């Protein structure tokens, strides 16, 4: 008993020393972690891609192609290979469609927006000046007469700002190219992860069982299974929801004859992946893009997006997710705020399922404690 207590105290002391040294050199530790992550980033991206593609891969294999096994007697290996080929073929097809159709239209929209920006701003400036003259706002709002001077100063400095930022723009383009190549390498690595996932899972289970007590290993496997369920459900539902909202937004903007309908719909659809704040993050720049072209249509766009988000929150998402992922609204908000502060946009997306997992585990343990008492 004394030996066990001594061992326990030594572990606590060692942990305390390591924690103290880590906090004392936190900048070096974070720098080292960032350096390691940069080296293994293709592997991390490969894991992310493989995890996301595992959803359609598993669905194809277990729901669709299993019928070929029962009807034609195909082996499980052949079904796995066929599922893998179809999954990546569909992914490549989607990427090709994006490259050949949507992306050129987006480039045209952005180019048109940039080319017409001076005339749009001039029209907006004329509208503002007319409102000022019509309602005699110069005498009612202090400091308003200086707006013209501020705007003129901004226009004079715009070219200088653009020139000074050229090196940063060049660095951004280089970083974007590097990131693209890293993701491309990650896509190749994901093929190996997805193909060998059964072997990798089996090896991880063997290591866990071999080096941890049975009670701990069983608990860790339960947590891993629950994590996989929550994240799978959240990712699948969010992607489907974002696609539906993007399509509905494009249809609505086309009917209302909004300018840059495709560009705006892509922004709305992509940002809709972020819970709660996503609709606002996407609606603000989209409304501004429309505002500089046609202020009246910008107002109609805001009303349309508000109605679309109400339909999304009350009709579409409940049908996709069914019941909620088990996280109260206040914890959803906290998870987004904390996740965003830690990991930016990625943290805002994965914060909700991560907190849902923690909340589920804490609720389970709390119920057990209360039941025992």
pLDDT computed for residue 251 by the predictor:
92
In a 3-state reduction of DSSP, which class is residue 196? Answer: coil
In angstroms, what is the C-alpha Rg of the chain? Answer: 27
Q: Quick check: 124 pLDDT over 70?
A: no
Q: How far is residue 14 from each of residues 11, 20, 28, 38, 134, measured CA to CA in Å? A: 5, 10, 20, 30, 75
Closest CA to 244 of 299, 315, 329, 297: 315
- Count of domains in the chain? 1
Asked if residue 353 belongs to a domain, the reply is yes
Which pLDDT value is given to residue 143?
52
Residue 139 lies in a domain: no
C-alpha distances (whole Å) from 368 to each of 230, 231, 362, 365 are 21, 24, 10, 5
Q: What CA–CA distance (Å, rounded) separates 69 from 78?
A: 9
> What pLDDT, on a 0 to 100 scale, did the predictor assign at position 140?
60
pLDDT at residue 357 is higher than 60: yes
Query: Is there a domain that residue 338 lies in?
Result: yes
Share of the chain above pLDDT 70, in %: 77
pLDDT, one tens digit per residue, over 232-280 is: 888 888 888 888 998 999 999 999 888 888 888 888 888 888 777 777 8
Kindly report the number of other CB atoms within 10 A of residue 274's CB atom: 23
Asked if residue 343 belongs to a domain, the reply is yes
Which has the minimum average pLDDT: 118-127, 300-309, 353-362? 118-127
The pLDDT > 90 percentage for the chain reads 4
More confident residue, 50 or 176: 50
Per-residue pLDDT reduced to its tens digit, 313-338: 777 777 776 555 556 667 777 777 78
Q: How confident is the model at residue 4 (pLDDT cuts 50, 70, 90)?
A: low
pLDDT score recorded for residue 17: 80
H-assigned helices in the chain: 2-24, 26-59, 66-72, 76-97, 103-134, 147-164, 166-195, 197-211, 214-255, 261-271, 278-291, 295-311, 317-321, 329-372
- Cα separation, 309 vs 324, in Å, equals 17
What local confidence, expressed as pLDDT, does residue 153 receive? 59
The pLDDT score that the predictor gives to residue 44 is: 84
In a domain, 368, yes or no: yes
The dihedral through the CA atoms of 238, 243, 248, 253 has a sign that is positive
Q: How far apart are CA 316 and CA 277, in angstroms?
A: 17
What is the pLDDT at residue 329? 67
Half-sphere exposure of 289 (CA within 13 A, CB side): 22
The boundaries of the domain holding residue 363 are: 324-373
Please state the rounded mean pLDDT for residues 290-312.
85
Q: Is residue 45 part of a domain?
A: no
What distance in Å separates the CA atoms of residue 55 and residue 239, rounded to the nearest whole number?
11
Identify the band that residue 148 occupies on the pLDDT scale cut at 50, 70 and 90: low
Query: Does 159 have pLDDT greater than 70?
Result: no
pLDDT for the residue numbered 311: 84
- Are 121 and 292 in contact, with CB atoms under 8 Å apart? yes
Which pLDDT score is estimated for 108?
Answer: 73
In this prediction, residue 228 carries a pLDDT of 85
- pLDDT at residue 89, rounded to an integer: 92
Which two three-digit tokens encode residue 53?
A: 């593609």
pLDDT of residue 259: 84
- 229, part of any domain: no
Q: Is 316 part of any domain?
A: no
d(C-alpha 204, C-alpha 202), whole Å: 6
The per-residue pLDDT for 88 is 92
Query: Which pLDDT score, from 0 to 100, does residue 120 have?
Result: 66
Q: What pLDDT digit, counting tens, does each position of 60-100 carry?
A: 888 877 776 667 666 777 788 888 899 999 989 988 887 77
């Amino acid at each position: 008993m004394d030996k066990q207590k001594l061992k326990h105290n030594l572990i606590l002391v060692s942990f305390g020393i390591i924690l103290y040294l880590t906090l004392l050199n936190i900048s070096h530790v974070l720098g080292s972690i960032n350096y390691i992550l940069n080296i293994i980033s293709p592997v991390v991206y490969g894991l992310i891609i493989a995890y996301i593609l595992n959803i359609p891969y598993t669905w194809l294999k277990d729901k669709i192609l299993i019928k070929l096994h029962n009807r034609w007697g195909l082996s499980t290996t052949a079904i796995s290979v066929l599922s893998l080929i179809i999954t990546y073929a569909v992914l490549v097809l989607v990427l090709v469609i994006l490259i050949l159709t949507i992306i050129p239209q987006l480039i045209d929209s952005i180019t048109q927006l940039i080319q017409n920006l001076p005339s749009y701003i001039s029209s907006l400036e004329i509208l503002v000046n007319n409102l000022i003259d019509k309602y005699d706002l110069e005498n009612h709002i202090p400091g308003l007469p200086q707006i013209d001077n501020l705007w003129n100063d901004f226009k004079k400095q715009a070219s200088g700002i653009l020139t000074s930022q050229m090196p940063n723009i060049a660095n951004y383009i280089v970083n974007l190219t590097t990131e693209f190549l890293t993701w491309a390498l990650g896509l190749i690595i994901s093929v190996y992860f997805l193909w060998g996932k059964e072997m990798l899972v089996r090896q991880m289970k063997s290591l866990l069982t071999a080096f941890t007590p049975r009670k701990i290993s069983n608990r860790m496997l339960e947590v891993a299974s629950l994590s996989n369920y929550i994240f799978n459900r959240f990712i699948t539902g969010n992607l489907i929801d974002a696609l539906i909202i993007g399509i509905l937004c494009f249809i609505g903007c086309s009917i209302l004859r909004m300018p840059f309908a495709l560009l705006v719909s892509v922004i709305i659809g992509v940002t809709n992946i972020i819970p709660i704040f996503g609709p606002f993050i996407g609606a603000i720049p989209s409304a501004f893009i429309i505002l500089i072209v046609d202020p009246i249509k910008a107002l109609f766009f805001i009303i349309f997006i508000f109605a679309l988000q109400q339909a999304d929150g009350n009709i579409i998402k409940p049908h996709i997710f069914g019941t909620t992922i088990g996280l109260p609204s206040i914890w959803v908000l906290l998870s987004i705020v904390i996740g965003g502060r830690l990991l930016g946009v990625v943290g805002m997306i994965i914060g909700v399922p991560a907190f849902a997992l923690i909340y589920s585990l804490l609720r389970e343990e709390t119920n057990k404690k209360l039941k025992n008492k």
